[in-house]
Amino acid sequence: MKTNRILIVDDSEENRYLLRALLQGHGYDVEEACHGAEALALARKNPPDLIIADILMPVMDGFALCREWKRDERLKTIPFFFYTATYTDGRDRDFALSLGAERFIVKPEEPEAFMAAVLETLQQTRLPSTDAGSTTADAQSQGLTGESPIEESVYLKQYNETLIRKLEAKMLQLEHTNDELKRDNARREQVETQKRVAEQRFRTVVNTIPDLIWLKDPEGVYLSCNHRFERFFGAKESEITGRTDYDFLSREQADFFRAHDREAMAKGEPTVNEEWGTFRNDGHRELLETIKTPMFDAHGKLIGVLGISRNITAHKQAETELHSQLDELNRWYKALLGRESRILELKREVNGLLRKAGQSPRYDEHVEDEESRPATTVAPSTSRGLEDGTPMTDGKR
């Protein structure tokens, strides 16, 4: 039994693939063309048993192909099957059938229904010529046609009307799509503007903070830093990012910094250390208290180390000066401790000698109570602090 051969015409490779797979799966031989002119050339060399064509195609569209097909003596009896997703208006269907097409189906169609239409169209063309009258009536009632192709002037008029109608629909669709794109672009620009403003505000805050701030990846490569850190390295952020401590510091100092990076990452929590640093922009030195904090993404993966260093030089100097003053005060207190009782004893001894000599006592031998003592006397709580060297704040240790 002869296998029917079907020519499919569509400029979409994906559409041709789907049709080919469907038809071959039902036992048909398939030949393909990507536009009407190519289909005509193939069919005139080797006419198929059925042609299934899209409408909107380059070079020659489906309407023009059907017009030429039905005017060709060798091809006009071969059934022409329109299968389109673009021309879906009832007037498009009427025009297609007026050109002599046997079937007009709108995509997408269920595979079972589509294959039933293919089989029905092929069987209809095999009916004996004696049944031509009934065949025409049946075909017209089922979406087939038995009409002769329309005249050229009528064809051109209807063809132009169809194209204009489709172009107008496409224009409206494009205008709608363009409006949607404009609104979408406006929303995106607004979001991008808000994002840029937020980033600029954040950068302003980070650069205004007087501390050194930087971010490294787990390998110690700098990802970002603020203006104060730029002064520490004597380089711009663009020159620092992508590089490591070993590009700016001595190996000893770079090893020191890297060790503290690793410590923070290993502990998974902030670590604190003090270190002296020399600023390359002007050569001055500062004692820095550095906090290094490991950073993790939303999935808990380590992504880097955030570092913040604060200048504590003045604080340390004030603390050292305070301890020095306390030490000095403690020495004076110990030196003066007990002098008042010794002076009182000497006064009593002198008065005793004067009495033995028959003279009147010269010194008062009474001890002063707490209220009569001068205001400069060291308070007992202060004395205890001076004795053990413990610093006090607002009278409390």
**pLDDT, average across residues 155-166:** 62
Longest Cα separation, the chain: 178
Residue 361: which pLDDT band, with cuts at 50, 70 and 90? confident
Q: Where are the alpha helices (DSSP H) in the chain?
A: 13-25, 36-45, 62-71, 90-98, 111-125, 132-141, 152-208, 227-233, 237-240, 251-267, 313-336, 339-356, 380-388
pLDDT at 375 over 70: no
**pLDDT, average across residues 183-192:** 89
Tell me the backbone φ, ψ of residue 236, rounded to 5 degrees. -75, 160
**pLDDT, average across residues 298-308:** 94
Tens digits of residue pLDDT in 244-277 = 999 999 999 999 999 999 999 999 999 999 989 8
pLDDT at 335 over 80: no
One-character DSSP codes across 242-267: T--GGGTS-HHHHHHHHHHHHHHHHH
Give me the pLDDT at residue 140, please. Answer: 41
Give me the pLDDT at residue 109, please. Answer: 86
Contact at 8 Å (CB) between 222 and 200? no
The burial class, CB within 10 Å (0-12 / 13-18 / 19+), for 132 is exposed
Only one residue has tokens 């600023």, namely 279
The closest of 141, 132, 49, 144 to 96, measured between CA atoms, is: 144
Residue 162: which pLDDT band, with cuts at 50, 70 and 90? low
Fold of 5-150: Rossmann fold (3.40.50)
pLDDT at 186 over 80: yes
Q: Taking all residues of the chain, what is their mean pLDDT, rounded to a whole number?
A: 82
Contact at 8 Å (CB) between 285 and 279? yes
The closest of 146, 150, 122 to 135, measured between CA atoms, is: 146
Q: Determine the Cα–Cα distance for residues 52 and 62; give it in Å rounded to an integer.
A: 10
Tens digits of residue pLDDT in 319-334 = 888 888 888 888 877 7
Three-state DSSP state, 304: strand
Fold of 209-311: Beta-Lactamase (3.30.450)
Neighbours of 43 (CB within 10 A): 22
Give me the pLDDT at residue 137, please. Answer: 40
Give me the pLDDT at residue 165, please. Answer: 63
Contact at 8 Å (CB) between 52 and 8? yes
Distances, alpha carbon 292 to alpha carbons 202, 297, 298, in Å: 20, 17, 20
The closest of 104, 61, 101 to 80, measured between CA atoms, is: 101
Distances, alpha carbon 297 to alpha carbons 79, 209, 303, in Å: 64, 25, 6
**pLDDT, average across residues 215-222:** 96
Give me the pLDDT at residue 108, please. Answer: 86
Q: Where are the alpha helices (DSSP H) in 4-73?
A: 13-25, 36-45, 62-71
Give me the pLDDT at residue 157, please. Answer: 58
Contact at 8 Å (CB) between 9 and 52? yes
Give me the pLDDT at residue 130, please. Answer: 39
Most confident of 130-134, 154-158, 161-165: 161-165
Tell me, what DSSP letter sits at residue 393? B
Tell me the backbone φ, ψ of residue 149, rounded to 5 degrees. -55, 145
Chain centroid to CA 43: how far?
54
Q: Where are the domains of the chain?
A: 5-150, 209-311, 316-388
According to DSSP, the β-strands at 5-9 and 50-53 are parallel
